[in-house]
Chain A
Amino acid sequence: MSESIREKQFKDTLGLSGEPVIQISGMNKWFGQFHVLRDIDLTVCRGERIVICGPSGSGKSTLIRCINRLEEHQQGTIVVDDIELTDDLKQIDNVRREVGMVFQHFNLFPHLTILENCTLAPIWVRKTPKAEAEEIAMEYLTRVKIPEQADKYPGQLSGGQQQRVAIARSLCMRPKIMLFDEPTSALDPEMIKEVLDVMVDLADTGMTMLVVTHEMGFARQVAHQVIFMDDGQIVEQNEPEPFFNNPQSDRTKFFLSQIL
């Protein structure tokens, strides 16, 4: 109870609207016998940016994949944009069109051009007319700084360019929430910065973002909160400054000492 009051005060100081867009409570998930997420409670407000870090296998990717139901949870509730995630496929589709996702391995559609990658969902899901969808796509491709690649195929682009296209593709649906699943982990060092720059720009627009990443510089720069996960649990959650300068749990201290 005191925890949620503290969180509320914290959000008031941030000047966020305080209106929750994601509410996860008492959520548990198993892969077979393996208890991958344990009693997850998390509230994300509109405009809030959260970075999730933790060792591999700690469940951080699974957590954000539960938010757009790429993974199914078995206990507890997840409410996204006032829609509770249940077996109702229609509702899941409704959630997915409001939640964009960027994957570690980009997952662009290799048989479609960059422009077609970006217009596909608006045309088929939002029923946007083609010309308008292309206009929107070009706008976002310009924002991620690769409008000149619009007619190429994903295979002709570098990793960094592909990931920026993937971000633009998600944004074309004008989502309310963006999920990033280790967006820079598969990139060459030279290309990480160009993707992070795009993400920082996106943060500046006030997008609600959940980012699984090990880029602690990014976390310091844009996150409102940093979450450390280990063994399927949220071990520590705090604002970036105290999180990095004064971590409370030994597990967090050890993790930070390994990666910083």
Chain B
Amino acid sequence: MNTHNRPFVRTEHLPQSPPPVSTSGIIGWVRENLFSSPLNAVLTISSIYFLYLVIPPFVQWAFIDAAWSGSSNKDCAGYGGACWAVVTARFGQFVYGFYPEAERWRPNLVLVLFAINLLPILWDRVPGRTVAALFLVTGFPLVALFFIHGGLGLEVVPTPKWGGFMLNLIMAAVAIIYSLPLGILLALGRRSEFPIISRFCVLFIEFWRGVPLITVLVMASFILPFFMPDGFNFNELLRALVGLTLFSSAYMAEVVRGGLQALPKGQTEAARAIGLTYWQSIRLIIMPQALKITIPAIVNTFIGLFKDTSLVIVIGLFDLLQVAKSSVTDTNWLGLEHETYIFVALVFFVACFAMSLYSLYLERKLDTDHRD
């Protein structure tokens, strides 16, 4: 009865069958993810206990016992919870700094225009991406400057009055909008066949990457004016913006270069072999793929940049963090560091998390690899 040497021929086709219940559904998920081993079970239970210890008291403090309005910390005295009145009472300053109240519609309008301009770029169902992107780096900054700064009939609001989260948004937007194209050019330049171009790009990138941002800001703000000829001095905010943009473009260049290097050489060869010119192959073949694989890294840099805008505190610009800092030393609102900084953290978190969500959406949408 030797069955091993018998020839085998399958005569019937086996249909697909569902996986066993214990590995699918909620029970399967819980078992696999939370209780897959004794150690994991202990960790799960202790984590739940820890959350039980932390969350209810926080909810009690932040929401149930909190005071939501008032004009000084005395109004919060009877509550025992958080004193959010500091935020609600000074909300305008947190958002706009010293921007005159009557003119705040102007930055609001710019924000709306910005969103409209961004729509075709971020959402592919709206046509006109290229035109919108070109306008964003050329025309839009002028429109924004006109409305926020004023002139030509609008009341002039000089830049020292700009502040709060608006200032963070302005700086982040400018730096992001200009550092990406600049970074792409630097990355291409660094890989250029022409030694002069590549050396220049390497030098530029390494310089800006090698200095701390605070140094850059301080240099732009205090040291640069010394070297400028008299009467030739440009706006402090503009100097900070230029520093921030050049700084982040160096990071962006390295991120993009990483993407370029990850592409197989065959892509360039195929693009050139079918007759595309260098710039066509960059635009149609290389960049779409390089940028796609670097989305997480690019957004990572953007998020870092966004939070770095709060470093302008060292040159005395009145951004959100500076508003927070001055408000906790306000005699009316003494002792409210928790509430103030939780609010600031929350604002930054929401903005950064939104960018992060968008990048996830973009990654899913652009996934044409189908390698799974």
Contacts and interface: CB of A to CB of B under 8 A. Distances in A.
Interface of A: 68, 70, 93, 96-97, 99-101, 103, 105, 107-111, 120-121, 124-125, 153, 155-156, 169-170, 173
B362 interface: no
Contact of A109 (B267, B272, B273, B369): B267
A107 B370 contact: no
Given A120-B284, A155-B371, A111 B274 contact: no
B24 interface: no
A248 B288 CA distance: 51
Contact of A124 (B266, B270, B284, B292): B284
Interface stretch (B57-65, B177-185, B275-283, B337-345): B275-283
A68 B9 CA distance: 52
B276 A109 contact: no
A97 B275 contact: yes
25 contacts: A68-B273, A96-B272, A96-B274, A97-B274, A97-B275, A99-B273, A100-B274, A101-B274, A103-B266, A103-B269, A103-B270, A105-B266, A107-B269, A107-B270, A109-B267, A109-B289, A110-B368, A111-B289, A111-B292, A111-B368, A120-B276, A153-B369, A155-B368, A155-B370, A170-B274
Most buried by B among A101, A111, A153: A111
Of all A-B residue pairs in the complex, the 10 with the closest CB atoms, nearest first, are: A107-B270, A97-B275, A155-B370, A107-B266, A121-B274, A125-B275, A101-B273, A153-B368, A96-B275, A156-B370
Nearest to B269: A70
B110 interface: no
B370 to A, nearest CB: 4
Given A103-B270, A107-B270, A110-B289, A155 B275 contact: no
B277 A93 contact: yes
Contacts of A121: 274-276
Contacts of B280: 124-125
Contacts of B289: 109-111
Contacts of A93: 275, 277
Contacts of A111: 288-289, 292, 366, 368
Interface of B: 264, 266-267, 269-277, 280, 284-285, 288-289, 292, 366, 368-371
A100 B371 CA distance: 28
Given A93-B275, A120-B274, 18 more contacts: A70-B273, A96-B272, A96-B274, A97-B275, A99-B273, A100-B273, A107-B266, A107-B267, A107-B270, A109-B271, A110-B289, A111-B368, A120-B276, A121-B276, A125-B276, A155-B368, A170-B274, A173-B275
Contacts of A97: 274-275
B19 to A, nearest CB: 25
Contacts of B267: 107, 109
Nearest to A156: B370
Contacts of A125: 274-276, 280
Contacts of B276: 120-121, 124-125
Contacts of A101: 270, 273-274
A96 B274 CA distance: 6
Nearest to A105: B266
Contacts of B274: 96-97, 100-101, 120-121, 125, 169-170, 173
A144 to B, nearest CB: 16
A101 B268 CA distance: 13
A101 B369 CA distance: 23
Contacts of B285: 109
Nearest to B366: A111
Contacts of A155: 368-371
Nearest to B372: A155
Contacts of B272: 70, 96
A110 B267 CA distance: 9
A93 B281 CA distance: 12
Contacts of B271: 109
Nearest to B277: A93
A242 to B, nearest CB: 33
Nearest to B266: A107
B370 A153 contact: yes
Nearest to A69: B272
Nearest to A116: B284
A121 B285 CA distance: 11
A121 B272 CA distance: 10
Contacts of B269: 70, 103, 107
A149 B68 CA distance: 61
A162 B28 CA distance: 39
Contacts of A107: 264, 266-267, 269-270
Most buried by A among B270, B273, B289, B370: B273
B92 to A, nearest CB: 46
B271 to A, nearest CB: 8
A10 to B, nearest CB: 30
A169 B277 CA distance: 17
A114 B310 CA distance: 47
Contacts of A105: 264, 266
Contacts of B371: 155
